Structure 1
Amino acid sequence: MQAQKKRRWPYVLGGILAVLVIAVAVVLWRLDAILLQQARAQAATLSQQLGRPVEVGGISTKLFPHVGVDVDNVTVGPAEGEELPLTQLKNLDVRVAAMPLLRSKGQDIQVLNVEVTGLTVNVIRLPDGTTNVQRLMDKLAQQQKPEEPPAEEQPPTDLSGVRVERAALTDGTIRFVDRSGEKAQELAISDLDIEVKDLRVGQPLEVKLAAAVLAQKQNLFATLAAAPLPPTLVPTPERLTLKAEAIDLAPLGPYLPPSVGFQAGTLTADWKAELGSAVPGGKGTTKLEGVIKALGLKFAGAEGGKALDVVLDTDVKADLDAGDLALDRLKLDFGPAGIEGKGRVKGMMGSSPAVEGFELKSHDLDPEVLAQYYPPLKKQLNGMIAGPVGLSVKGSGTQEAQALNLDVDLTPVRLRVPEQLTKEAGAAMRLTARLSGAAASGGALRFDAKADLSGADLRPGLLLSKAPGQRMEVDAAGTYQPTKDGMKVDVSKLTANVLEDTVNGTASFATAGTGKKATTTFAADLKTQRLNADALLMKDEEIMARNNGVLPPPPDDPTRFNGMRGDIKIQAASVRYSEQNLSNVVGHITMVDDLIKVEKFSSVAYGGTVVADGTQVNLGQLPEKRAFVAKVQMQKVDMAQVLAARTPKKVMTGAFNGNIDLQGVGYTPEKLKETLLGAINGNLENSTFLGVDVLSKVTEPLAKALPFAAKALKSGDMTQLGENLPFGVEIKNGVAQLEKPITWTRPEGAMRFEGGIRLDGVLDLTGNVSLTPQTIKTLTLGKVTPTEAIPVGMKVTGPAWAPEVTGIDVKPAALTIAKLAATGLAGQLLGDKAKQVQDVISGGEQAAREEAERKKKELEAKAAEEKAKLEEAARAEQEKAKKKAEEEAKKRLRGILGK
């Protein structure tokens, strides 16, 4: 019995294994069905997007000894009006090692094989001349969603755990089918093989391509080799080889874009390149060796059916780090034009370079002539350039001091660069430079360059008013140094001759990083005896005359200055700007992204001194959204000069001493009414308010109101404000309001005003003039001499350059003066008995003063009420603008979301 029981265990174990095998088979069978169902669902969605059926024949999976999937018979079918499918794929085989994947919980991904077999792409030229590929691209472009703001740049993905032993495309075919003629024609790029082996971190990468281009056997071979791969698996190319065996390109013409108009030509190549340090991240020597020939290239519309031969023949070696270059053979011919080079340069990045017969020059390099061979070039250039471009690089110097001379001569060329510049043929435009090896510190190439732009017209750029024939020359010397992810230029000597002025100084420029992390850093330290900015910069009327009567809209990209870092210093003995002469100008301006900050600025201007340290503005936003802070200190500044360009008539004379501290958003009056805040504090010296004589405006109606003959005071259309008038203004809700009443005293009377001025220059002042006893005596022709000053209330309104005195209440003052006159007359007639009459009149005088005080309070109350109304109206306008902005923001948001 025991022996029989022991012999049962093999059957039990076999049964368990059988059950497991059956269970795994069932799972795999159902898994394949589930995956196929999901794949076909995705294919149906893709079919709607592409406008052509997408089918998946079958999916087969494996879980052991490796995880694998086979996808069979994938087809992207024809669209309406097409006979052949766009693509057909026989098989996609993907296999991944199972155990490393399981042990590492998905971190160690060892791809054993990825192979695409039997891929066929059918490019069909339809009867209307278009291709099925073009139609597909047009449909995808119609479905393209509006661009969204770029997401935050993510750190590179570490793919150290990924290894691909083999990835390949085998037996691929690209068929070209022409259905545009009466008889269908077919040709193909067949036997297309692409293979990559052992793709992983730390191993060099090699990609091989071979294909039979319009031939029975493979006639195109290319190999791209890269340095050992980094953790991101992003390759750095090191070597490229290309071989082509007399490929006839003519049959491909109908399938290229019609704008190219390609008709015929052959391609032959036997060329290889060791890229070295010529590519970002590369190292070592760069070598270019071999020949590439594209012969008999014909294009539709070529003048006289001319054919274009393009031949590149090279035997070039270069070590960019050391500055070595050997041109054993360099010849590039394209039609009648060409570039040839020969000779050697050694140690250009050292302090003592050696030049051996080096020469690089062009001949017949005229884009307009080349367009006769290749007509699409004419459309691409759009008339921008015509005429032979002169290019020459030659060695020069003594045995001890050798150098390379670069000469780019555009004088014979006609230029038409839209929105930038124009130049006629024969007008001077030339760049010369001398490269003389690295600086003593090493690594930075020394240069001395001169540019002559006197023949150029820069006015089409709508910035500089520089006409052809006017002087514009730049002479610079310094160093150039390539860096790991950019470059650095230091200009130790800079001279710019601009129109009639000359600027000297130093400058630097550097770039670093890519994408969102890219930065551009620049600096300049400039000095000049004279700078006429009015002559150099275009005025608005000039811009409008050249731009169909309108000013060009400002750029609307608020991020266009991101990554900019600037530091500019300038000293100028004399500057002409906005029709004002400034002297002893000292400025220091910094830039971080779109924030421009005035670290230091001082100048002798408007007859005094102006300091603007701390002023800043954000340039990125549109003008109506541009935030600014203005901090200005002024001493002995002539107010007449300051206001001359801002008002149609003179408003005020005298000198201003004080501080201006403002902030806001936008520059238009409408926007400033909503956003401008700040204060102006200081004093006016020997100042006169022009346009109105307050004393005359007060005494004229007062003289007429008296019951006896009187004579008004006349001092001209001006009001003297005294030797020193301190004041403070708070700006809020579009109104500059006096912080406290201003008062000043003249021999004729004491004046007191409160209120403010709107940003459009309209006055709203309430106050009074207390006429002195001597003024009253003069006014009454000696009839009345009161013991105290007599006040008269009024308002000053209207534009500051055409003010009006309104609301004059002379009744209390006239009554007081009349009673005083009556008292004096009673004293003369009644003698001692006049005392009782005088007492009555005195009481009347007191009553008059009380009445004047009452009127004053009424005016003050009315002014306060009007001020409150103005503030309420401003708040209402601000709330209305806020709601409007919110509605516009909602509309824009709906537009972005497509709802």
Structure 2
Amino acid sequence: MSAQQPKKKRWPYVLGGIVLVLVAAGAIALWRLDAFLLDTARAEAAVYAQKLGRPIDIGALSTRLLPSVGVEVENVVVGAAPDEPAPLLEMKRLEVDVALWPVLTSKGKDIQVKNAEVKGLTLHLVQLADGTTNVSRVQEKLAEEQPAEPTPEEPAQDLSGVRVDRAALTDATLRLIDLSGGARRELAINHLDVEVKDLRAGKPLEVALHAAVLSEKQNFHLDLKTAPLPASLIPVPESVVLKSEPIDLTPLGPFLGPEVGLQAGTLQANWTADLGAAVPGGTGPTALKGGLQARGLRFAGAEGGKALDVVLDTDVTGDMLTGDLSLQKMLVELGPARLTGKGQVKGLLTPSPAVQDFELVGEKLDPALLAEYYPPLRKSVGNQVAGPIGFVVRGGGNQAEQALNVNVDLTPVRLRIPAQLTKEAGGTMKLTARLTGAAASGGALRFDAKTDMTGVDLRPGAILDKRPGQTFTLDTAGTYQPANGKAPLKVDLSRLALAVREYTMSGTASVALGGQGAKQTTTFALALKSPRLNADELLLKTEAPAEPSTPAPEAPEDPQRFNGMSGTVRLEIGALRMSEMDFSDLIAELRMENDLITVERFTTGVYGGTVSASGSSVRLGPPAAQRPFVVKAEAKGLEMEQALATRTPKKVLGGKFDGQMDLQGVGYEMSSLQERMAGAIQGNLAGGVFFGADLPAAVSGPLARALPFKSKELSSEGVTKLAEQLPFSLQIKDGVAQLSKPITWTRPEAAMSFAGGIRLDGTLDLAGTVNLEPALIKTLTLGKVTPPEALPLALKLTGKAWSPEVTGLDVKPAATALAKLAAAGAAKELLGSKGEAVGNIITGGTDAAKQAAQAEADKRKAELEAKARQEADAARKKAEDEAKKRLKGLLGR
């Protein structure tokens, strides 16, 4: 009997079968996934093809999930429009490989791209017979899809979790096809290779570009290196190396477009630039070595077929931290224009700079002359600048103090800068500056500069009325601190002297710029003094258009445009003429935080008194019609006749005003103020005079005419004298100034009392009584009647304050009473003691007149209170309706 055979193990076969099934299932799933993604990509391509007006085809798409996520796209073609001879773009292959595990474990925050490569890309740039190109057509189509309004700038994103080990464009071709001249011409930039390695935050970025420009082998090389990338991955260039063998640019002319008009020329370059701190955000020394030459450049329309040579030849080193600059060689030539330099400056940003034979000179820097070689310059400059610009920087000084002297002379230049200034050739315009090294604390460059713009016409700027020949000089001295690491760029002016025409201002100023993008900050301080200014003369008056026209709609201003701004302004002006007002001893201290302007101090003499407005504020962010403001002011001894003279067509009120104002509103237009102005005004009017009407005469005239016997109308003085001291209080709501309580005053001829209010446009709505004193009644009745006490007459004042209307005057009760008094007096004279009985009639008549007048005043008061309640109810209902609308909008129904 044979030995028992060992039992075979079955689990390896089972496991192998499971693995085989899983692999097969995965392969099928990937196959179906690839098919689905390809269908989706083609569907999206069809949508874009419709927008661009040209076919888009995707040949194949495949993916993989292990060991990394990868996608490969093959044979992508963006086709040609019907009249184009070649497709816009052809791409043989796109490969992207992303590490899977970091993406999964970081929930998509850690993205590591192992490789991203485009192979065999061919771009056809076709110059069509009408002068357009296929690329410009695509750009126009894409522009049509862009939103009408630019989207607000977004803050830089944190991309520190993104890493690209390698990205490359391999063996690309830019094929140029020219159909503009009738016969077809073709050129090519072949073997275009671009490679980027190790793109990640904290590492420098290196980019290499090589191409064969109109050649079979690569003859153009560009290498770029950046500083270590920030979290936003926005690069800061640190060094550039440009090398080019001689390239004939003539065949490229048609493809640069008729706006350039290049007809001939060659290019050769061998230039290295270590930029360092010379670029924003860069650090370290700067070095420029080598140069480039573009010779024999001929452009269509050049006068006499002149050829332009452009030469850059440099051997320059410098250090922005210490202020070192060495010009071993510095030559820039643009045809006849030249900029040459030599010499050394050491330690300009230290307290003890050294200058050795330094010179930087510009010659024949005339845009009009350069336009003879390069005609497109005429369009870009717009005939705005013509004439040689003088530019000289030289080192100088003695052993104790060395400096750089800068001289810029635009006197021979003719300027036509739209909406800013004009100047004829020969008009004085100069700048002289002196740089004398850093302050003792180090790091801030000391300078003083003088500008003379006497020959300039500033009226085109629509701000200053300054004509050619009138004085305009600016004299400054201070320090300049460049941005360094965390320190912001800062300019301090310890001397600031401005002379415009016959007026002068002097003071100090500073500004600091820090941060970037949405976090950019601007901090400033300005302090100016002037003995005398006439703003009405200095500021240009804008004339209204002869014919009304509809202004073009302006783009809405960003309400956040002042975010990050903060600073102070202090003004001291001995005498100021502005808006036809004369101010004296004006002191103003303002503070700005974002868009909020707060008046910390404001005092001035005006209209024979003084005004203080400390605590007032305004927000500049909203549009002008919606800007909220607060006015807190105190006045002492203000001459009301002077204050109102320029605001009303006729005199309204006289006397001296002492009081306080606490107002708030929105916008500056009268329509807005009438709707939304609120607050209070209270104070006292001394020696007041109402110039609108002689109220006793205004009521006594109708009364005299109503009497049944001969009487005399009082002659009108045209004014009403108020009390020697008239305290009052006004509450302002919805543009109406309402008396908090009636104002009452007594004059020898009459006692008066009024309640009600006045609108901001000067419309009166007052009701009251005028109590005619017995002496005035005696004069009025030619001595026939002398009542024992004042006779009241009720009335209303409406219309404009400078031309009021007396309404609601009922003189019948008073006339009846006076008639009875006159009859009683006559009876007493005729009957003697028997006429005493008439006394009862007199008392009753007087009481009736007083009761009638009081009844009319009470009626008017009730009407005003009812009107106020109605307006308050309407305002409350309006606010409730607006709140309901906003709530409805929030709820979406």
Q: TM-score scaled by structure 1?
A: 0.93
- On the 8 A contact 2:129/2:182 being kept in 1, the answer is no
Distance of aligned partners of 1:228 and 1:795 in 2 relative to their CA distance in 1, 3 Å threshold: closer
2:143 corresponds in structure 1 to 141
Which one of the candidate residues 90, 95, 98 is aligned to 2:97?
A: 95
Residue 40 of structure 1 aligns with an amino acid whose one-letter code is: R
Query: Could you report, residue by residue, the CA deviation over 1:248-267 in whole angstroms, capped at 9, with x for unpaired residues?
Result: 11111111232111222111
- Equivalence for 1:895: none
Is contact 1:816–1:849 with CA below 8 Å preserved after alignment? no
Deviation (angstroms), 1:107: 5.3
Shift of residue 190, structure 1, vs aligned partner: 0.2
Partner of 1:490: 492
| Paired letter, 2:425 | A
| Counterpart in the other structure of 2:327 | 327
For each residue in 1:372-410, what CA deviation from the matched residue of structure 2 results, as whole angstroms up to 9, or x when unmatched?
Answer: 111111011112111111111110100120000111111
Structural RMSD (CA): 2.8
Structure 2 residue aligned with 1:373: 373
SS at match of 1:128: coil
Distance 2:163 2:697 in 1: 98
1:65 Cα deviation (Å)? 3.8
Identical amino acids, percent of aligned pairs: 55
- Work out the CA distance in 2 between the residues paired with 1:18 and 1:294: 67
Match of residue 24 from structure 2? 22
Match of 2:50 among 27, 44, 48: 48
Q: In the TM superposition, what whole-angstrom CA distance separates every residue of 1:485-530 from its partner, at most 9, and x where no partner exists? A: 7511000111111211111111111212222222222211111111
> 493-502 vs 593-602, which deviates more?
593-602
Cα 1:544–1:106 change in 2 (3 A) is closer
**Are 1:602 and 2:603 an aligned pair?**
yes
Q: How does 1:548-587 map to 2 (within 5 A)?
A: 556-559=556-559, 560-587=561-588
Range with greater deviation from structure 2 (29-38 or 103-112): 103-112
- Report SS of the residue matched to 2:243: strand
Superposed counterparts of 1:407-556, under 5 Å: 407-483=407-483, 484=485, 486-541=488-543, 556=556
- Deviations, residues 321-369 of structure 1 (Å, cap 9, x unaligned): 0110000000000011010010000000100000000000100000011
- For 2:365, what is the secondary structure of its paired residue? coil
Q: 1:587 to 1:557 in 2, by over 3 A?
A: same
Matches within 5 A, 1:214-229: 214-229=214-229
Question: Relative to structure 2, which stretch is displaced further, 225-234 or 359-368?
Answer: 225-234
Local SS of the residue matching 1:133: helix
Partner SS, residue 709 of structure 1:
coil
8 Å CA contact 1:346–1:354 kept in 2: the answer is yes
Contact between 1:347 and 1:354, CA under 8 Å: does it hold in 2? yes
Counting only pairs closer than 5 Å after superposition, residues 285-364 of structure 1 correspond to structure 2 as 285-364=285-364
CA contact 1:655–1:687 (8 Å) conserved in 2? yes
In structure 1, what is the equivalent of residue 66 of structure 2? 64
Q: State the shift of 1:34 in Å.
A: 2.4
- 1:249 partnered with 2:249: yes
Question: 2:750 corresponds to which residue?
Answer: 749
CA–CA distance in 1 between the matches of 2:490 and 2:867? 62
Deviation string, structure 1 residues 113-150 (Cα, Å, up to 9, x no partner): 22211111111122222111111111111222223542
Question: Matched residue of 1:373: which SS?
Answer: coil
Give the whole-Å Cα distance in 2 for the aligned partners of 1:112 and 1:687. 89
Maintained 8 Å contact 2:267/2:295: yes
1:551 Cα deviation from its structure 2 partner: 9.6
In the superposition, relative to structure 1, how do residues 279 and 154 fare at CA in structure 2: closer, same or farther (>3 Å)?
A: closer
Cα distance per residue 1:530-580 (max 9 Å; x no partner): 111111112243x758x9999999884143433332311011111111222
Amino acid at match of 1:356: Q
Q: How many residues align?
A: 883
Cα pair distance change 1:146/1:641, threshold 3 Å: same
Which amino acid in 2 is paired with 1:767? G
1:179 and 1:749 mapped to 2: Cα distance?
A: 99
| Separation of aligned partners in 1, 2:461 and 2:422 | 10
Which position in structure 2 is the counterpart of 1:685? 686
Q: Which runs of 5 or more structure 1 residues have no equivalent in the other structure? A: 891-899
CA drift of 1:730 comes to 1.8
1:433–1:2 distance in 2 versus 1, CA, 3 Å = farther
Partner SS state of residue 277, structure 2: helix
The answer to whether the 8 Å contact 1:744/1:750 transfers is yes
Q: For residues 690-705 of structure 1, what are the structure 2 equivalents within 5 Å?
A: 690-705=691-706
Match of 1:783 in 2: 784
1:202 Cα deviation after fit: 4.2
CA shift at 1:281, angstroms? 2.9
Query: Paired residue for 2:128?
Result: 126
Q: Which residue of 1 aligns with 2:822?
A: 821
Deviations 1:150-180 (Å, cap 9, x if unpaired)? 2653652322xx4433322111100011233
SS at match of 1:692: coil
State the match for 1:896 in structure 2.
Answer: none
- Answering whether residue 619 of structure 2 is matched by residue 618 of structure 1, we say yes
Report the counterpart of residue 767 of structure 1 in structure 2: 768
Give the 3-state SS of the residue equivalent to 2:94 in structure 1. strand
Contact 1:558 1:622 (C-alpha < 8 Å) held by counterparts: no
Where does residue 713 of structure 1 map in the other structure? 714
Shift of 1:623: 2.9
Change (3 A) 1:393 1:772: same
Relative to 1, partners in 2 of residues 1:760 and 1:105: Cα closer, same or farther, differing over 3 Å? Answer: closer
Please state if 1:34 is matched with 2:36: yes
User: In terms of mean alpha carbon deviation, does 574-583 or 866-875 score higher?
Assistant: 866-875
SS at match of 1:832: helix
Q: Which moved more, 1:52-61 or 1:779-788?
A: 779-788
SS of corresponding position for 2:482: strand
Q: Does 1:732 align with 2:733?
A: yes
Q: How far 1:716 sits from its partner (Å)?
A: 0.9
**2:643 is aligned with what amino acid?**
V
With over 3 angstroms needed to count, the CA separation of the structure-2 counterparts of 1:691 and 1:67, relative to structure 1, is closer
Q: Which moved more, 1:59-68 or 1:602-611?
A: 59-68
Contact 1:595 / 1:617 at 8 angstroms: preserved in 2?
yes
Could you tell me the TM-score, scaled by structure 2's length? 0.93
Q: CA deviation at 1:286?
A: 0.7
Q: After superposition, what is the alpha-carbon deviation per residue over 1:785-841, rounded to whole angstroms, capped at 9, x for unaligned?
A: 222211112222222222232332222222222222222232233233333343344
Instruction: Give the conservation status (yes or no) of the 8 Å contact 2:660–2:681.
Output: yes
Helix, strand or coil for the counterpart of 1:803? Answer: strand
SS in structure 1 at match of 2:809: strand
SS at match of 1:630: strand
**d(CA) in 2 for partners of 1:517, 1:38:** 41
Q: Pick closer, same or farther for the CA change 1:840–1:529 going to 2, 3 Å.
A: closer
Within-5 A mapping of 1:55-204: 55-98=57-100, 109-147=111-149, 149-150=151-152, 153=155, 155-159=157-161, 162-204=162-204
SS in 2 for 1:19: helix
CA distance in 2, matches of 1:788, 1:66: 110
Asked if the contact 1:784–1:821 (Cα under 8 Å) also holds between the matched residues in 2, the reply is yes
CA offset at residue 13 of structure 1?
Answer: 4.3
On the 8 A contact 1:684/1:725 being kept in 2, the answer is: yes
Match of 2:389 in 1: 389
What amino acid is aligned across from residue 19 of structure 1 in structure 2? V
- In 2, Cα distance between the equivalents of 1:717 and 1:126? 85
Cα offset for 1:763?
A: 1.7
Alignment of 1:249-288 (within 5 A): 249-288=249-288
SS in structure 1 of the partner of residue 415 of structure 2: strand
Contact 1:695–1:714 (8 Å) recurs in 2: no
Structure 2 contact 536–580 (Cα < 8 Å) conserved: yes
- CA–CA distance in structure 2, aligned partners of residues 40 and 219 of structure 1: 38
Q: Is the 8 A contact 2:462 2:542 kept in 1?
A: no
Summarize the Cα distance change of 1:869–1:30 in structure 2 as closer, same or farther, 3 Å threshold: closer
Between 1:734-743 and 1:175-184, the stretch displaced more is 175-184
Q: Match of 1:667?
A: 668
Structure 1 residue 73, shift from structure 2 partner:
0.9
- Provide the C-alpha distance between the structure 2 equivalents of 1:851 and 1:271, rounded to a whole number of angstroms: 103
